[in-house]
Amino acid sequence: MKRARVGALLLVVALAMTACQGKPGDRAEGGEVRIGVGGQPLLVYLPTTLARQLGYYEAEGLKVELEDLQGGSKALQAMQGGSVDVVSGYYDHTIQMQAKRKEVKSFVTMLRYPSIVLAVSPRASRPIDSITDLAGANVGVTAPGSSTDFFLKYLLGKHGLDPGAANVQGIGGDAGAVAAMEQGRVDAAVMIDPAVSVLQTRVGVDKVKILTDTRTAEGVQEDFGVPAYPAAVLYSSGEWLANNGDTARKLANAIVKTLRWIEQHSPDEIAARMPSEYAQGNRDVYVQAIGRAKESFSRDGIMPAEGAEAVHKVLSQFDKEIAGAPMDLSRTYSNDYLPQ
């Protein structure tokens, strides 16, 4: 009888342990976490890589694996499919997912300006002098459904066109985007540095017409009507955050330390810490691009409530699903994981 009771007790314990181990989203709490990056060489995601280069993840007791993906939509898909735990992507996607009644939440903000540029190819198949000229044109974005695609649709709508008026093509964000523009495979593209600066260096600054530029506060004010517009963040599902709060706090702490390091160091010092291949063969241009990008990085990782509201307002202007969905923006981000 005693043996039977002991055996039953052991079985109950084993089943309980198996159930705990099988809970979705709890893998990373032990210190291992996979982050999908929507274009790792892009400067908007620089803090994600720099935190690794500086050893800040390791200092937090984390083993972080970075997975480079073509764009934000691909990174989001990877998270939904379970191949990554966290995404280094744009805040836009947390609002997009809430409109679909799926809880995705950002927990540290890296970028306060989108740093997106809409440029015309030097080999465009037609004259393009304004955003309205993009109707029917082939326009490159990092990937369809990514924040670069959202930005294009917003601008088209803002200028009186249907958000789908341009023919969208996914061209990636780094070397692929530069090649597509240089070769005229697209008439224009929504680009992010260092790709913009590399293209201008290769073909000449005067050969690359810039239609709009959100790398500065002035550009953000002109396009969005606000002084700041939260962009790159770390986000994950509500379920993962509920099961991995300690890991999220460690990640947020590593990123905030990195943001402070960026503020205190020169573009040249920052470039020296980054993988050399990100410069695409021209370190001077890479350093200059970092210099322009420094202003756009957050200082403290905080998501301002008015910034979240601005993003929602912009997305609602071209996305009917977001415009019509009940929205609780407080469920799309949290500042609770930031260092106190």
Whether the pLDDT of residue 65 is over 60: the answer is: yes
Average pLDDT over residues 226-240: 95
With beta carbons less than 8 A apart as the criterion, state whether 89 and 232 touch.
yes
Return the pLDDT at 70.
84
Can you read off the two tokens belonging to residue 151? 């930005």
Smallest CA-to-CA distance from 302 within 82, 108, 103 is with 108
- DSSP assignment string, 7-70: HHHHHHHHHHHHHHHTSTT-GGGGSEEEEEESSTTSGGGHHHHHHHHTTHHHHTT-EEEEEE-S
Q: Is 104 helix (H, G, I), strand (E, B) or coil?
A: strand
How far is residue 240 from each of residues 29, 251, 313, measured CA to CA in Å?
9, 13, 27
CA–CA dist 293, 193 (Å, integer) = 8
- Tokens 């490159």 — which residue? 140
pLDDT at 233: 98
* Beta carbons of 91 and 233 less than 8 angstroms apart: yes
Give the tens place of pLDDT for each residue, 75-101.
999 999 999 999 999 999 999 999 999
End-to-end alpha carbon distance in the chain:
55
Q: What is the pLDDT of residues 259-285, one digit of tens each?
A: 999 999 999 999 999 999 999 889 999
Query: Residue 299: left if φ>0, alpha if ψ -120 to 50, beta else—which one?
Result: alpha
Percent with pLDDT over 70 in the chain: 91
Task: Flag whether pLDDT at 209 surpasses 70.
Answer: yes
Instruction: Tell me what pLDDT residue 14 has.
Output: 40
Residue 318, pLDDT above cutoff 50: yes
- The CA-atom distances, in angstroms, between 28 and each of 18, 133, 309, 314, 340 are 16, 48, 31, 34, 23
Nearest Cα neighbor of 218 from 210, 228, 205 is 228
- The rounded radius of gyration (Å) of the Cα atoms in the chain is 21
Residue 230's region, left for phi above 0, alpha for psi from -120 to 50, else beta, is beta
- Range 190-208 average pLDDT: 94
Question: DSSP assignment of 238-296, as one string?
Answer: HHHHHH-HHHHHHHHHHHHHHHHHHHHS-HHHHHHHS-GGGGTT-HHHHHHHHHHHGGG
Residue where the block lists tokens 């993962």: 240
How does residue 71 score in pLDDT terms, banded at 50, 70 and 90?
confident
Burial of 19 (C-beta count, 10 Å sphere; 0-12/13-18/19+): exposed
pLDDT, tens digit (0-9, with 9 covering 90-100), for 2-44: 444 444 444 433 434 333 343 434 454 558 999 999 999 999 9
Single pTM value for the model: 0.86
What average pLDDT does this structure show over 322-333?
95
Mean pLDDT of the chain: 90
Q: How far is CA 18 from CA 15, 30, 292, in A?
A: 5, 16, 51
67-76, 92-101, 117-126, 133-142: segment of lowest average pLDDT:
67-76
Give the pLDDT confidence score for residue 19 in this predicted structure.
39
